[in-house]
Amino acid sequence: MTVRPLPAAERVAVPWKNGGGVTREIAAWPEGADMAGFVWRVSLAEVAADGPFSAFAEVDRILTMVEGEGMDLTVGGEARRVDTRFVPQGFPGDLPTDCRLLGGPVVNLNVMWRRGGEVAPSVTVAQSRRPIAVPAGPAVLVVALDGTAEVAGHTIGRYDAVLLTDEDAVLHATGRTAVIALTPRD
């Protein structure tokens, strides 16, 4: 098993072109890939103002709000209210998406991947004092969203992450923790 800690303190905030927020990349594959070349990408986005989301051709995404009061999204002309924290919501990343904040800034965990590509990610938000089995996979990313978590011998705090490859692990979470399985497509 490979265990790679990804501390939040080491992430760089990248401002959006429209000035509406910043993104901090947690991990991407291939490592170091730019926005045009990733197979999958996981990040935390701080949405500070109303406005459009960037469109990503042939990309799907799962957004999980982790801070804030919420957003009214319009995705491809359809209204979608995002006002409950820690509930993953999927939608096409290439549809025009506009955001109106409900009560100030929000922070979203974003998982993006190439549609029809090599992976089919899933996002589960866990919170349990009991141990939770994290199944083996080519890549599983664990991100502490609030509280702390322990996985594969590493204790992680809020927004820290651990990337696991090729072996089962056990998760102990005192707060909500995202488990992102980056499963190969059949």
Residue-wise pLDDT for 104-115, tens only, equals 999 999 999 999
What is the rounded distance in angstroms from the CA atom of residue 177 to the CA atom of residue 46? 18
Q: What percentage of the chain carries pLDDT values higher than 90?
A: 77
Residues 104 and 156 in one domain: no
Give the model's pLDDT for residue 15: 92
Residues 25 and 107 in one domain: yes
Confidence check: pLDDT of 174 > 80: yes
Range of the domain at 172: 119-184
Residues 104 and 172 in one domain: no
Residues 19 and 97 in one domain: yes
Q: How many domains does the chain have?
A: 2
Q: Which residues contact 62 (CB under 8 A, 6 or more apart)?
A: 88, 89, 90, 110, 111, 121, 122, 123
Highest mean pLDDT among 13-27, 69-83, 115-129 belongs to 69-83
Q: What value does the mean pLDDT of the chain take?
A: 93
The confidence band for 124, taking pLDDT boundaries of 50, 70 and 90, is very high
Residues 91 and 158 in one domain: no
Residue 63 lies in a domain: yes
